[in-house]
Amino acid sequence: MLERLNELRIETPSWGYGDSGTRFKTFPWPGAARDVHEKIDDAAEIHRLTGVAPSVALHIPWDRTDDWKALRGYAEGKGVAIGAINPNLFQDPDYRLGSIAHPEARVREKALAHLLECVDIMKATGSRDLSLWFADGTNYAGQDDFRARKRRVRDALKTLHDALPEGARMLVEYKFFEPAFYFTDLFDWGAALVQCLAAGPKAKVLVDLGHHAQGTNIEAIVAFLLDEDRLGGFHFNARRYADDDLIVGTTNPFELFAILCETVDAPDVAYMIDQSHNIEPKVEAMLQSVLNCQEAYAKALLVDRARLADAQAKGDVLEAHRTLTDAFRTDVRPLLEEFRAKNGLPLDPIKAFRTSGYAERVAAERGTAAAGGGYPT
């Protein structure tokens, strides 16, 4: 069991360490990371405390630098690696009507050029995954041709797929609404899967836990994609009504557990936190996110698979359900303490962080940024 806990790897996102907010307001936090090097410093602190967060995802151009190889060396010197590269195709004014699905060829070419630039960044940083989310869609009936947009997306993804180096992957995310409110080009897992199948074997679907309608059975989607060998990874967070950006495991911990029950034995699934931490202290919120995933993962490892399979084969509905809930209700904190002791990690990472002085030190060094609104830039 302890050996299996060593298999868990959770990537943290650079943008989770900086100030960010909703469309209404960004509340600045003392010591929030101001540049990519400080973001890497914070990610390294999370890995030091948990032992399960060895990489940090970058967002381009938010994390742009003049020397990618030097940045890779800086990260490695801090004990972490550069993870997924995330292009930004939603903030440039040219993308008001979309990026790769835009009706104007000039804009589509600009978007594709940025995506190809990110492939070059992957090569320089040693990143394996290109993580793709598109804000493309329409707000009014008749605004654009649905089928034409579908083909534009397909053409761009195919070109991008073929430009990926050997061993690299592109993870295609979907979202059923926002910022487009009438139609979104990659509106659900089926649309993403169809586009991935058309692009080629390096294309996999990325599931963001905040990008579904209320009541969606995400674990069933996960199982379906796994069976098709097209599940590439997760963006972990929690939603309440509309989108994500609550700490994963805070609103529906059983859903997180049920999803991990499907993936715990699956190879090559990338786990990543994707949260903005709008009102929370940045590093501690990220630490809590990682620990919630680790706890749910440990519980998923405890499921008695033989008992579950037997109950399912017999059609014993309640016994099958109890098999899952017995594992979910197990207090795994002593097990996680044993894991941490064996690996030389703090037994209580939250307490260790709060008493380390890290938050106070970076607040003194970095100060507090001026308040703003929306995403970081």
Q: Over the chain, what is the mean pLDDT? A: 95
Backbone angles phi and psi of 181, in degrees to 5: -105, -10
Under 8 Å CB-to-CB from 98, ≥6 apart: which residues? 107, 134, 135, 136, 137, 144, 149, 185
Percent of the chain predicted with pLDDT > 90 = 90
What is the tens place of the pLDDT at every residue in 211-237?
999 999 999 999 999 999 999 999 999
Is 330 in contact with 302 (CB distance < 8 Å)? Answer: yes
Out of 3.30.360.30, 3.40.50.300, 3.30.565.10, 3.20.20.150, select the CATH number for domain 7-301.
3.20.20.150
Instruction: Render pLDDT for 295-339 as a digit per residue (tens, 0 to 9).
Output: 999 999 999 999 999 999 999 999 999 999 999 999 999 999 999
pLDDT band at 371 (very low <50, low <70, confident <90, very high): low
The Cβ of residue 356 has, within 10 Å, a number of other Cβ atoms equal to 14
What number is the average pLDDT over the span 176-185?
95
User: Is the model's pLDDT at 4 over the cut of 80?
Assistant: yes
Enter the pTM of the model.
0.96
Strands 231-236 and 203-208: parallel
Burial 165-200 (b: 16+ CB within 10 A, else e): eeebbbbbbbbeeeebeebbbbbbbebbbebbebbe
Q: Can you spell out the DSSP letters for 84-146? A: EEEE--SSSGGGGG-STT-SSHHHHHHHHHHHHHHHHHHHHHT--EEEE----EESSTTSS-H
* Beta partners for residue 233, in sequence order: 206, 270
Residue 45: the pLDDT is 98
Identify the band that residue 345 occupies on the pLDDT scale cut at 50, 70 and 90: very high
**C-beta pairs of 260-265 under 8 Å, 24+ apart in sequence:** 260/293, 260/296, 260/297, 260/299, 260/300, 261/219, 261/300, 261/303, 261/324, 262/219, 262/222, 262/223, 262/226, 263/222, 263/226, 263/231, 263/234, 264/297, 264/300, 264/301
Q: Which of 25-34, 165-174, 275-284 has the highest mean pLDDT?
A: 165-174
Q: Helix crossing, 358-366 with 36-50: angle to 10°? A: 180
Nearest CA among 215, 251, 242, 284 for reference residue 22: 242
Burial of 337 (0-12, 13-18, 19+ CB in 10 A): middle
Give the pLDDT band (50/70/90) at residue 81.
Answer: very high
- Strand 129-132 with 137-138, pairing: unpaired
- Given this model, what pLDDT does residue 1 score? 78
Give the integer Cα–Cα distance in Å for 359 and 72: 25
Q: Which residues of 209-247 are buried (b: 16+ CB within 10 A; e: fewer)?
A: bbbbeeeeebbebbbbbbeeebbbbbbbbbbeeebbbbb
CA distance 300 to 238: 18
